[in-house]
């Protein structure tokens, strides 16, 4: 039984989630390479120790430097704040250790570019943790589109709307810094979805705005919502909307992809259903099929043999862990690689430029 | 029992629909003014005669001029092609006869402006037939928004997507002439909805495009879909998409209106349900309410005393007829008046300008 | 233009609805026989006069006897209380006048049987007004099942749940008399649906009960809900539930029909959608199709040429009127004929017997 | 960090699922007692070894006897065929080891009764693995009903419909033996749901039937579907339907619970949504709320901090593992205990008697 030692930087929401995913992935996917959770660290030695005890991780590292340097840590998962993604990744990659990095990569396209360089130099597995696109439904949607199930695609609507900035008492840093705003932090998910489902973006226009200049007594200095008009390199038109103040929407990662002969609709609030329309000339029976995910769809069967029995948020993290382990074995990056993650940041940079000029901008210029 | 003689210009799809609506409206709404269907005309004396016989209308007029001049025709419904809306309306109004005109008003903002002038001069009831906004659900949505049910509105997504240009053999004229394209012919519905739900549009950007340069052996010379980014005078942001080639969508007149404290969602493919979210601080019970229309909602009870029993397309036309009769009695225009209809055309003109310049344009400049 | 004079007995909810339907049906369906609303009567000469004025009906009859005898009344619609259905129908049929009778026929199987006898003697058109089964969706469902779209059917769940007895202040008579209870008054709809979709019922067991012995200060003396287990002659098993106190359900006329190779699901709260599953061996694409009704489905196109644009409650009444007019022309009964309506009453009688004995009973014994 | 050694009997579908659940539960729920997967066994030493290697379990036991006797195995999970549940449980309990047993308990009420006796004698944690009722939505539904959110409940419809017996090539034993039929194997889930949501069943009537006497060349000797009419001790009426041949339904564990002032609806095919209607007298806003589960609901937050992000099938098994660990710590049984599981078997026994007599039977007689 081949094993690999995993170290996790960060014990917050996503650090815990990755820890649980690596604990279960070997069993669920019966991976050849079984992960061993070696170490975890937090923002201080004390918090690291608390996380290790709470999650049942073997030991706590004093800080990320110690964790990365630990010889038993053979691969690193970065679930720390965006501001330190780059330096951690560079340090791990310099030691030849594969890296799974939470989205988004760093705080800028420059951060991302540096991480790509470090990854290419190291030549090891690297991956950005865009979990939502890894539901069985969205993986299947990608496959359907690529396979021509709806013909040449000419339009896409892609959204990610939530209302957490309205309904939760958030730490004040959430309201400061472009990287923590909607465009910097939430929009990367639908931008990644746009790239995954539709291919590269040739140009775009953008509106970026703060809806609430103040919330809960805290001044909001970054953006609440962003709306993009996209022209894909394929020629297709698109619209993308992301909002953290969409009152009522809890997990509005949703898309509607229109092709010449059909349409695909998805809303992550019902993540186990994919809606597919295929024109077949029989008007009497025409209609969207509500396809419930099951063993016939990507990565579902590891969780359950019964169709329609459903996967959830945490399963996405497990799938990610499986793909990262597979990449480590193969010694290759896996989609979305750091290079793919960089594309998201170029779209973000182009959006800022387009919004500023009230015109259009090209991601390939950034 | 006060009666009023109604004449209908046009015996096609909508002409028939208005004829049936005026036949039933006096009973359903128990209107004080009972309409009498006096005359109908078609594109030729023969077709007019056929329509009269088929629909059970008293007599056929040889042409619209004869119909408008008929002294027993006391009010005129225009359901002829857009190109002749203006001259018919002007003729009827010049005789002091109230006019209900199918959407859109004429083929340009200039047509619409001339019709407004004629209507103001005549000082009689005038109305544009935007039927979809008259469902009990959409009327109630307007009322909820105006009454503050979701707080200050900051975002709107408005769509009208259908696939009739893909699935029907359409007459060749549908594929020619800007007024028959998606922006000219289909988009007026969601633009009217945007104005109704959100108020005036300050500025917009636009993409207008032809997806299929040829369909069914016919060259397509006008646009298939249009996507607008809107800034409302209220400060709210919006996106509007209309398409006649949205494979799978049959009646995708849909909107999602987001306010500071809630959201309203609607899709006309399930026109008897309105989805309302109101933030009330109880996370355990938070959720969209699926409100089925019933006697508690505008104009429903005339059709049925049981809630959830449903209204349909034709009932919208009946509601329209009722409102027109009420306006005739009051001697006043009724929303959307010709002046309101003109606003739709100004948005269309601004969209064409914005698309051409790849920048922003203001409807009030047109 | 052939015309026929229609007289309507009853100016309440359904009387008005039929009056409006006959006013519009000639135009909507372009029927060869155009109905002329000649007379209406109410429970008194005064109420009849009010109804005539309100609905725009030519004249009021003093009572149903006068209406039936009126030589200009060539066909009679009975929308009076159940207790008088039989005598009105017998009188009209004795004069050779076709009859459209509101459901249920009279207050007992004996009433229904007498009406069948009268109708057979007269040899003219007769029809019971089970409107809900006439939606385009349910007509299509019947056709699909009969055509083998889901294979041999082995199970049916049929419901009709509403909450009007909870949420409305109802007249006290609603709470008295078996014929006004749930089994007598509401259940006939789903029983008729069961017969229409599944064929004759061989035997059944039943629970009939009053949930609220008192409501709004009024003693409830008849039943609130009824649950039946059905064995169809085809061998299929079924369950049927009807309730007038189903808090939250507004129009829960719903069914789920399961065959060897597929399933059909329908809920009248979204009456324009029919859900169809057909097993075809492709697990990846397996799913229910949400079919929106349109011109490809029965009786839809008369109301609208666009699919998905929807029909509603009142359109069902119009379809009924069209079918009655067609039957008059043909000089034949039309489904559900008086003979079909009698079958509903036999099921009701068997349900009462089965509930009393806590065992099974056969409708053909009643 | 307190640990407990877990041994799993059975490495099939559910054995694997429990193994993965115990691997992750300590991290996800940050349990005080951290489970250590000590051993697993299969139907032979070879299969046990394969399971251990595949799932990453420390060691394989040669057979269940060895596993139960292993001193490092401090608690036993039974995921073997029903026929051996009883003897394994008795052996483990005789050693004072807590037992989590897959549903159903054994093959008869007698098996279950013996297991209850053994558990009571041992005085340790015992639990039956009815996972579906442990979704956050269904846990919340139970809480709502118990808390009076819909008033006194008077009706329940409970279903569990799937089509696996139609669409999968199943091992021949599935088609033989009453315990493997629909009533013995699938119906325990909705029966458990009925007891959980509604309380004890006073009496019932039943139809039990085989729809397909042969499938895929194999003779079907047990039942395919079962329909029960239930009278709860509370006085409420109920209907329960279970089918393994419900073509199209993949996970139709569904219920509709009606109270005097509201209703709850749930369908596990969309397991993250609970539909709640509460009558509040405002007809304009009346409607079902679609509540998406989130941190405000039972056991959700361990998986995700974001509401609407969803849990799935495997998370139910993790929740079960958490509850079992908590019970071990407390030294007490946890719902559904063996005693609760026995109640399910008594309902099954009563159903067989009622079906045979075509009358009613009382579970408390069995």
Closest CA to A259 of C186, C246, B243, C129: B243
Residues D108 and D157 in one domain: no
Q: Chains meeting A at 3+ CB pairs closer than 8 A?
A: B, C, D
Number of domains in chain D: 2
Rounded Cα distance between B336 and A54, Å, is 63
For an interface test with C, the pick among B6, B14, B30, B56 (most C C-beta atoms closer than 10 Å) comes out as: B56
CB atoms within 10 A of CB D11: 26
| Residue D92 located in a structural domain | yes
Closest CA to D41 of D20, D66, D22: D66
Residues A157 and A95 in one domain: no
Looking at D109, D132, D155, the residue that finishes a domain is D132
Radius of gyration of the CA atoms of chain D, in A: 20
Tell me the backbone φ, ψ of residue B130, rounded to 5 degrees: -85, 85
Residues A143 and A62 in one domain: no
* Of B276, B284, B295, Cβ closest to residue D285: B276
Residues 159 through 178 of chain D touching chain A, CB cutoff 8 Å: 162, 164
| Secondary structure, 3-state, B333-359 | CCCCCHHHHHHHHHHHHHHHHHHHHCC
Point out which residues pair with A179 in neighbouring strands.
none
The sign one gets for the Cα dihedral D195, D201, D205, D208 is positive
* Of D1, D16, D292, Cβ closest to residue A53: D1
CB A42 within 8 A of CB A77: no
Yes or no, beta carbons of D283 and C167 under 8 Å apart: yes
* Of A157, A167, A262, Cβ closest to residue B241: A157
Residues A189 and A282 in one domain: yes
Within 8 A of B294 by CB-CB distance, chain D residues are: 283, 286
Region of residue C73 (phi > 0: left; psi between -120 and 50: alpha; otherwise: beta): beta
Side-chain-side CA neighbours of C331 within 13 Å: the count stands at 3
The structure tokens listed for A357 are: 């000029």
Yes or no, beta carbons of A289 and C284 under 8 Å apart: no
Rounded Cα distance between C359 and D10, Å, is 44
Give the CATH number for residue B63: 3.40.50.720
Residues C71 and C85 in one domain: yes
Peptide bond just before D336 cis, omega within 30 deg: yes
Yes or no, beta carbons of B248 and A279 under 8 Å apart: yes
Residue B164's pLDDT band (cuts 50, 70, 90): very high
Any D CB within 8 A of A50 CB: no
Residues D259 and D285 in one domain: yes
Rounded Cα distance between C224 and C186, Å, is 10
The sign one gets for the Cα dihedral B187, B189, B195, B198 is negative
The whole-number pLDDT of residue B78 equals 98
CB D366 within 8 A of CB D191: no
For an interface test with B, the pick among D147, D272, D287 (most B C-beta atoms closer than 10 Å) comes out as: D287
Within 8 A of A292 by CB-CB distance, chain C residues are: 286-287
The whole-number pLDDT of residue C242 equals 98
CB atoms within 10 A of CB C281: 7
Would you give per-residue pLDDT tens digits along chain C (366 residues)? 699 999 999 999 999 999 999 999 999 999 999 999 999 999 999 999 999 999 999 999 999 999 999 999 999 999 999 999 999 999 999 999 999 999 999 999 999 999 999 999 999 999 999 999 999 999 999 999 999 999 999 999 999 999 999 988 788 889 999 999 999 999 999 999 999 999 999 999 999 999 999 988 889 999 999 999 999 999 999 999 999 999 999 999 999 999 999 999 999 999 999 999 999 989 999 999 999 999 999 999 999 999 999 999 999 999 999 999 999 999 999 999 999 999 999 999 999 999 999 999 999 999
| Residue B82 located in a structural domain | yes
Cα distances (Å, whole numbers) of residue B172 to A75, B53, B175: 63, 28, 6
Question: What is the average per-residue pLDDT within B206-222?
Answer: 94
Cα distances (Å, whole numbers) of residue A267 to A10, B143, B308, B366, D176: 30, 28, 26, 39, 41
| Residue D316 located in a structural domain | no
Any C CB within 8 A of A255 CB: no
Closest CA to C222 of C87, C107, C73, C93: C107
The whole-number pLDDT of residue B1 equals 65
**Which chain A residue lies closest to D272 (C-alpha atoms)?**
A270
Yes or no, beta carbons of C28 and B314 under 8 Å apart: yes
Region of residue C288 (phi > 0: left; psi between -120 and 50: alpha; otherwise: beta): beta
Yes or no, beta carbons of B289 and D284 under 8 Å apart: no
Any D CB within 8 A of A26 CB: yes
Yes or no, beta carbons of B287 and D290 under 8 Å apart: yes
Rounded Cα distance between B123 and A198, Å, is 54
Cα distances (Å, whole numbers) of residue A296 to A301, A315, C318: 8, 17, 46
Rounded Cα distance between A74 and A97, Å, is 6
The whole-number pLDDT of residue B168 equals 80
Cα distances (Å, whole numbers) of residue C232 to C183, C194, C201, C363: 19, 9, 4, 11
Radius of gyration of the CA atoms of chain B, in A: 20
Q: Would you mind telling me the total number of residues written for chain C in this entry?
A: 366
The whole-number pLDDT of residue A305 equals 95
Residues C243 and C222 in one domain: yes
| Residue C336 located in a structural domain | no
Rounded Cα distance between B161 and B187, Å, is 9
What is the DSSP pairing of strand C2-9 with strand C33-41?
Answer: parallel
| Residue A324 located in a structural domain | no
Closest CA to B264 of C170, D339, A141, A246: A246
Residues B117 and B141 in one domain: no
Residues C126 and C202 in one domain: no
The whole-number pLDDT of residue D361 equals 98
Rounded to 5°, angle at Cα A340 from A243 and A192: 20
**Which chain D residue lies closest to A33 (C-alpha atoms)?**
D56
Yes or no, beta carbons of C311 and B314 under 8 Å apart: yes
| Residue C334 located in a structural domain | no
Yes or no, beta carbons of A250 and D28 under 8 Å apart: no
Q: Chains meeting B at 3+ CB pairs closer than 8 A?
A: A, C, D
| Residue D336 located in a structural domain | no
What's the distance, CA C43 to chain centroid?
23
Numbers of helices and strands, H then E, in chain B: 10, 16
Q: Would you mind telling me the total number of residues written for chain A in this entry?
A: 366
Rounded Cα distance between D62 and D72, Å, is 15
Rounded Cα distance between A35 and A37, Å, is 6
The structure tokens listed for C145 are: 């099942």
CA distance D17 to chain C (A): 23
Yes or no, beta carbons of D287 and B289 under 8 Å apart: yes
Rounded to 5°, angle at Cα B105 from B102 and B110: 170
Give tens-digit pLDDT for B315-365: 999 999 999 999 999 999 999 999 999 999 999 999 999 999 999 999 999
Q: What is the DSSP code string of D218-233?
A: EE--S-SEEEEEEEET
* Of D154, D166, D227, Cβ closest to residue C229: D227
Rounded to 5°, angle at Cα C67 from C63 and C68: 120
What's the distance, CA C64 to chain centroid?
22
Within 8 A of D290 by CB-CB distance, chain B residues are: 287-290
pLDDT at B12 over 70: yes
Residues A140 and A118 in one domain: no
CA distance D361 to chain A (A): 33
What is the DSSP pairing of strand A99-102 with strand A75-78?
Answer: parallel
Yes or no, beta carbons of B140 and D294 under 8 Å apart: no
Looking at D114, D132, D150, the residue that finishes a domain is D132
**Which chain D residue lies closest to A289 (C-alpha atoms)?**
D248
Within 8 A of B292 by CB-CB distance, chain D residues are: 286-287
Side-chain-side CA neighbours of A146 within 13 Å: the count stands at 10
Q: What is the biggest distance separating any 2 CA atoms in chain B, rounded to whole angstroms?
A: 66
**Residue C71 in 3-state DSSP?**
coil
CB B140 within 8 A of CB B298: yes
Residues C142 and C288 in one domain: yes
Scanning the structure block, which residue is given the tokens 């990662």? A253
Give tens-digit pLDDT for B165-208: 998 878 888 999 999 999 999 999 999 999 999 999 999 999 99
Residues of chain D with pLDDT under 50: none
Within 8 A of C295 by CB-CB distance, chain A residues are: 283
Nearby residues of C37 by Cβ (< 8 Å), 6 or more positions away? C6, C8, C19, C22, C23, C55, C56, C57, C58
The whole-number pLDDT of residue D169 equals 74
**Residue C225 in 3-state DSSP?**
strand
Looking at D105, D132, D159, the residue that finishes a domain is D132
Any C CB within 8 A of A215 CB: no
Residue D186's domain comprises: 136-270+272-311+344-357
Q: What is the DSSP code string of D313-366?
A: HHHHHHHHHHHHHHHHHHTS--SS-HHHHHHHHHHHHHHHHHHHHTS-B-GGG-
Within 8 A of C288 by CB-CB distance, chain A residues are: 289-290
Residues D29 and D101 in one domain: yes
Region of residue A313 (phi > 0: left; psi between -120 and 50: alpha; otherwise: beta): alpha
| Residue A365 located in a structural domain | no
| Mean pLDDT, 10 residues at a time, chain A of 366 residues | 94 96 98 96 97 95 98 98 96 98 94 98 98 98 98 98 89 90 97 98 98 91 97 98 98 98 98 97 96 98 97 98 97 97 98 98 97
Within 8 A of C56 by CB-CB distance, chain B residues are: 1, 26-27, 34
The whole-number pLDDT of residue A61 equals 98
**Which chain B residue lies closest to C32 (C-alpha atoms)?**
B54
Closest CA to D80 of D109, D105, D112, D59: D105
Give the CATH number for residue B144: 3.30.360.10
Yes or no, beta carbons of A162 and D306 under 8 Å apart: yes
Scanning the structure block, which residue is given the tokens 């008046």? B337
């Amino acid at each position: 039984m081949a094993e690999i030692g995993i170290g996790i930087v960060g014990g917050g929401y996503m650090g815990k989630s990755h820890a649980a995913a690596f604990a279960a992935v070997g069993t669920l996917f019966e991976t050849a390479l079984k992960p061993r959770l070696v170490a975890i660290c937090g923002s201080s030695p004390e918090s690291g120790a608390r996380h290790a005890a709470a999650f049942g991780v073997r030991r706590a590292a004093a800080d990320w430097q110690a964790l990365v340097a630990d010889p038993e840590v053979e691969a690193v998962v970065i679930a720390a704040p965006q501001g330190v993604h780059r330096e951690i990744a560079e340090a791990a990659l310099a030691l030849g250790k594969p890296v799974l990095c939470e989205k988004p990569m760093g705080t800028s396209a420059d951060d991302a570019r540096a991480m790509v360089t470090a990854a290419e130099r190291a030549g090891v597995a690297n991956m950005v943790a865009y979990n939502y696109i890894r539901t069985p439904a969205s993986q299947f949607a990608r496959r359907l589109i690529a396979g021509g199930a709806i013909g040449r695609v000419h339009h896409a609507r892609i959204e990610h709307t939530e209302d957490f900035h309205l309904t939760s008492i958030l730490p004040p840093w959430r309201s400061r810094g472009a990287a923590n705003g909607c465009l910097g932090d939430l929009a990367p998910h639908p931008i990644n979805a746009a790239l995954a489902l539709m291919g590269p973006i040739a140009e775009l226009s953008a509106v970026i705005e703060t809806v609430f200049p103040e919330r809960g007594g805290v001044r909001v200095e970054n953006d609440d919502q962003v709306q993009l008009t996209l022209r894909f390199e394929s020629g297709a038109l698109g619209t993308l909307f992301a909002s953290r103040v969409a009152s009522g929407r809890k997990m509005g990662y949703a898309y509607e992809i229109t092709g010449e002969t059909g349409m695909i609709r998805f809303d992550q609030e019902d993540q186990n259903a994919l809606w597919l329309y295929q024109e077949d000339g029989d008007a009497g029976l025409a209609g969207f099929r509500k396809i419930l995910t099951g063993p016939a769809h990507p990565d579902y069967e590891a969780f359950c043999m019964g169709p329609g029995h459903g996967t959830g948020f945490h399963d996405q993290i497990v799938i990610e862990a499986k793909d990262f382990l597979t990449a480590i074995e193969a010694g290759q990056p896996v989609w979305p690689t750091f290079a793919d993650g960089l594309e998201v940041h170029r779209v973000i940079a182009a959006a800022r430029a387009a919004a500023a000029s009230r015109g259009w901008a090209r991601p390939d210029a950034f």
